[in-house]
Amino acid sequence: MDKLIIEGPTRLSGDVRIDGAKNAALPIMVACLLSEGKSVIKGVPQLSDVYTMCKILRVVGAKVNFSDGTLEISPGAYTGNTAAYSYVSTMRASICILGPLLVRQLYAKVSLPGGCIIGPRPINIHTKGLSALGADIKVEHGYLIAKTRGLKGNTVYLGGTFGSSVLATANVMMAATLAKGKTIIEYAACEPEIVDLAEFLIKMGAKIKGHRTHTIEIEGVKRLRGATHKIIPDRIEAATYMIAACATKGDITVRGANINHLGALIDILTEAGAVITKKPNSAIRVRASRRLNTIGLATLPYPGFPTDLQAQLMALMAVSNGIAIITEKIYPERFMHVGELNRMGAQISLEGDSAIIRGVKNLSGAEVMASDLRASAALVIGGLIAKGKTTISRIYHLDRGYKDMEKKLSLLGAKIKRVKS
């Protein structure tokens, strides 16, 4: 397993360019199975999760070519209907293949998904939604077995214990595009990644309305065609570098991001004392000339503060002025990074679904271990601001969501290197 070694502290400065959004690319890749024609997807990030999804699509019979950030996917009349554990176990988003396989093949066998260990993430919202469209779904030997004689439109409520579900919304929306009649998804997710998926489906010939709201209407069509589409920028990658700039009292310009997708973060960082300026050509300048103030927040579905930024913001709050309270409303057990940050000198305690962070002046370098994708990014930020050497192991988690992070940070002035072990 590779490791990252960081010599800190450092002050980040310069420009960083953002890649396409992984969380938009993965469902869009699966959506290509809804058509027999070839689709071309541009701006796809070259990440391990994307390569895994390529393998899953090939297993079910699609032809996939991935080169220089452009994907060509030709499903043809594929006949595969099984997504095996060996692939699906590595990432949560693979469950999105259930809807397209079911509506096209009338049968799907998909392993229960895996991904980061951030607490229980039940799939009952997916099964409830697809069952409402006419699917018969059961779990056998670790697999979801879904059958149907033909999906039919219906009104589907997708609210869960912790709000709307992004992947369940994607699954039901994709299946509904080829179902007979109208489907109305109530309490649908409205994240930018869902909007991007809907825009791609519309290019394919789907009839979708309301995909920027919590109520989405889909009128089923008989067939869809291939389409060409460019993936939206990765708002979580952009936000991670913005937080890193603030933590290191840096001055960076993030290029290629969509500032409209970052409202909650910009509000929080500005309240804490950062200066954020919108620049021409999709650029955002982030400056923090001093130690920031602590703030309190709760993670919420979009447009609230993203759960995928909770760990990174905690690393920033660990060296800010005062006491911060971060409440995790999406995945209440998503605090695996707390112990590792405390190893670096942070003062963080947990009370239920809340973390109480008492800001300290400095962190100190230490050997730490990444537990999941976003926790990995938080430890990188911790290493940038810590005095001395930080060694982060199990960074394969990081590679699932950040392309060449160590190279991008090096260009910003960080002393960071990847070591093979």
Q: Which residues are catalytic?
A: 116
Best CA proximity match to 127, nearest among 95, 84, 87 = 95
**Nearest 10 degrees: Cα torsion 19, 24, 27, 30:** -40
Best CA proximity match to 286, nearest among 250, 234, 322 = 250
Tell me if 33 sits within 8 A of 104, measured CB to CB.
yes
Best CA proximity match to 62, nearest among 84, 45, 94, 39 = 39
DSSP 416: E
How far is the C-alpha of 368 from the C-alpha of 39, rounded, in Å?
42
Maximum C-alpha span of the chain = 63
49 pairs with which residues across the strands?
none
21 pairs with which residues across the strands?
none
How far is CA 66 from its chain centroid? 20
How far is the C-alpha of 78 from the C-alpha of 152, rounded, in Å?
22
Query: Which ranges constitute the DSSP H helices of 148-285?
Result: 166-177, 192-203, 235-247, 263-272
Which residues does 365 contact at the CB level (< 8 Å), separation at least 6?
6, 7, 8, 344, 383, 386, 387, 388, 389, 390, 391
Assign 379 to helix, strand or coil.
helix
